[in-house]
Amino acid sequence: MAVDEFSWSPQLQELKNANQVVVIPYQLELNYHYWNYHDIMTAILPDSEQADIPVGFSAVGHVAHLNLRDQYLPYKHLIASVLMDKNPTIRTVINKTDDVGEENEFRTFRYEVLAGPNDMHVEVKEQDCVFRFDYSKVYWNTRLSTEHHRLVSKFQPGEAVCDVMAGVGPFAVPAAKKGVWVWANDLNPESYSSLVENARRNK
């Protein structure tokens, strides 16, 4: 391999001429594993779609939940495949196909699987609790984790709390675990069933 001295900086030229450094050829190979998700999507998407490359997603256990804009739907399987490659904890990638609450009163949503198995039985760890539920049948918003923690941190042992829209228990379960008296329920039978199991699991 030839050494291209014309690409050297003046400082490197000076050090080389003074015999203070030795420059030797080295071949560096950068393959797919070197580049991150954004690098790869920037390289393969058309120039017209570079302005707003989809990078954000909600991780619910092993599921990555995307809300792709219409212009990226032709590339949805490619996006999902690369995203899963670059996030080792993700095994399933889905894209929401309607608005939350449009399907029914329980705030679930329709989706399509873009990569991986159609396995929506997830496990989420939050506030020293383990929550298990079928993400396709209940409401869960990962972005509310800070609010879950903020509110539960205000509860004191021995206080009484009623959670009438408890979902699978992100407020009720950690509150009960810290010694708060909790009465919790949910309109969705699937959510209530998961709530009961999560309460039992995290005693």
pLDDT for position 101:
63
Residue 2, pLDDT above cutoff 70: no
Can you give the pLDDT at residue 144?
A: 94
**Phi/psi at 6 (nearest 5 deg)?**
-70, -20
- Average pLDDT on 118-131 reads 97
Q: Is the pLDDT reported for residue 1 higher than 60?
A: no
Q: Cβ neighbours of residue 163 under 8 Å, at least 6 residues apart?
A: 171, 172, 175, 182, 183, 184, 185
Contact 155, 178 (CB under 8 A): yes
Report the b/e string of 100-134 with b at 16+ CB within 10 A. Answer: eeeeeebbbbebebbbbeeebebebebbebebebb
Bridge partners, residue 122, by sequence: 133
Banded pLDDT at 6 (limits 50, 70, 90): confident
Closest to 114 (Cα-Cα) out of 150, 147, 65? 65
Q: Which two tokens stand for residue 122?
A: 């997830």
User: Which range has the worst mean pLDDT, 12-16, 35-39, 92-96, 114-118?
Assistant: 12-16
